[in-house]
Amino acid sequence: MIKDHPIFLESIRFIKSNLIENNLSYLENKVLERLVHTSGDFNIQKLLVFSEGACEKAVKSLKAGAPILTDTDMAAAAIKSMAKNTSRNKVVSAKKWFNDKDLLGLTKTAYGIEKGWIELSAKNLGTKSPIIVIGSSPTALVNLLKILDNSKQIPSLIIGMPVGFIGVRQSKKKLLNTNYPRILVNSTRGGAAMAAAAVNALLRETI
């Protein structure tokens, strides 16, 4: 059971009252509220992009037990508590697969996401296909999309929120040009906290 602090509840009420009127679904608005709360920035509303039905698909997958694969330990740590108190999904960081001797020319995080996807997707099929959370590494996002081109399975959801200036916009553009279930924040904005907040908003809806 989740017991929210009164200050958090007051913050969400304030955010709701100051959002621009929109045509987002119930779940999309829940994600938006959490991202504005996490970032302290109402401009996120103009940058947030959902593929159709992505949130609904993700909640269904979370309820089915889909694992959550993150690009950083920070994002994993921010999700684990919510997962424990909701649908108890397994949360694992790409760091689990880091191997300095076998990176195949990739960054450690890109390699870890690739190996993590291959292992977790083989064990979790259909509705339980992994949810991938990218809040830091654009190279991990680009490499994920590359390997998905030859994969028989797709993630239940891709959170595309790498942050920074080198390769970030390009990686998000690649994600936008796919048909995968996705949530992303356009521009150079993003980060582990925001990516985790998007997942946590969906996890809250599993109870």
- The residues that are catalytic are 37
Length of the chain, please? 207
Residues 6 or more apart whose CB falls under 8 angstroms from that of 26 comprise: none
Strand ranges, E, within the chain: 48-50, 68-70, 91-93, 131-134, 157-160, 182-185
Largest CA distance in the chain: 53
Contact 114, 147 (CB under 8 A): yes
Residue with tokens 């921010």: 78
Contact 92, 50 (CB under 8 A): no
| Amino acid present at 120 | L
